[in-house]
Amino acid sequence: MKTRLLSGDALIIVDLQNDFLPGGSLPVAGGNTIIPMLNRYITDFHARRLPIVATRDWHPINHCSFESFGGPWPPHCIANTEGAAFPTALQLPACTKIISKATTQSKDAYSAFSDTPLNELLHSLNVKRLFFGGLATEYCVLNTVKDAIRFHYVTFILEDAVCAINQQPDDGHDALLTMKRLGAIPTKDEAIER
Ligand code: VGL
Ligand code: ZN
């Protein structure tokens, strides 16, 4: 089944940030390998004047998800640091809409819809279908996709443009199964009509 990109479609790139890449403070092994594919999708959406959203984990320095504050993670994606920046290899156009999440000390959020203007933004742009790539499959991608489905977007998961942390070896695989079971439509490069 080929998918043709249409007016009403948007590309959502989840948390593709330096700290989640090899060399960062919470690296997703192989996270960098999806950047060329994301760039290909960016080119496709941009050429059709379709919205591109980049979400980012954007924590205060004393965030509750950090180990020293009782959370599960090493410090990562501290607002306005190089670790929280998008890698220069990711070719985001100037018109990219940026959504920052988990910005307050006392609350973590894996979904980019959580306490952000993402839903309102997408409504204002008349977006009906979302195409998801980014990091990490079993955390922020999974939880953002779940909310997208709950909010009745037609939700595609770009299987060749996500990557998992895999603390347990099957975490990413299981998350993909969960997303599909909930109604996300798996797609990939070859299935996009160009
Ligand atoms: C994420 C762990 C901690 C993610 C964010 O973006 O998937 N994972 N904070
Ligand atoms: Zn985080």
What rounded mean pLDDT belongs to the chain? 98
What is the chain's length?
194
Model pLDDT, residue 1 = 80
Could you give the residue numbers annotated as active site?
Answer: 15, 101, 140
> Ligand 1: residues whose CB is within 6 Å?
15, 57, 65, 73, 135-136, 139-140
CATH for 3-193 (3.90.230.10, 3.40.50.850, 1.10.3720.10, 3.30.110.30): 3.40.50.850
Tokens of 140: 């922020």
Ligand nearest to the CA of 59: 2
pLDDT digits (tens, 9 = 90+) for 33-80: 999 999 999 999 999 999 999 999 999 999 999 999 999 999 999 999
Q: Is 24 left (phi over 0), alpha (psi -120 to 50) or beta?
A: beta
CA nearest to 65, candidates 21, 113, 19, 132: 19
Pocket-testing residue among 12, 19, 20, 59, ligand 1, by greatest number of atoms within 8 A of Cβ: 20
Model pTM greater than 0.95?
yes
- How many Å lie between the centroid of ligand 1 and the Cα of residue 116? 16
Model pLDDT, residue 65 = 98
CA nearest to 157, candidates 169, 168, 165, 148: 148
For ligand 1, atom 2, which residue shows the shortest CA distance?
A: 139
pLDDT digits (tens, 9 = 90+) for 115-146: 999 999 999 999 999 999 999 999 999 999 99
- How many Å lie between the centroid of ligand 1 and the Cα of residue 105? 15
Ligand 1: atom nearest CA of 138 is 7
- How many Å lie between the centroid of ligand 2 and the Cα of residue 70? 13
Model pLDDT, residue 141 = 98
pLDDT digits (tens, 9 = 90+) for 146-173: 999 999 999 999 999 999 999 999 999 9
Per-residue pLDDT, averaged over 174-190, amounts to 98
Per-residue pLDDT, averaged over 78-95, amounts to 98
Pocket-testing residue among 15, 56, 145, ligand 1, by greatest number of atoms within 8 A of Cβ: 15
For ligand 1, atom 3, which residue shows the shortest CA distance?
A: 73
Model pLDDT, residue 105 = 98
Per-residue pLDDT, averaged over 87-102, amounts to 98
Give the span between the Cα atoms of 33 and 162, in whole angstroms: 9
- How many Å lie between the centroid of ligand 2 and the Cα of residue 59? 7
Ligand nearest to the CA of 140: 1
For ligand 1, atom 4, which residue shows the shortest CA distance?
A: 140
In three-state secondary structure terms, 116 is coil
In three-state secondary structure terms, 120 is helix
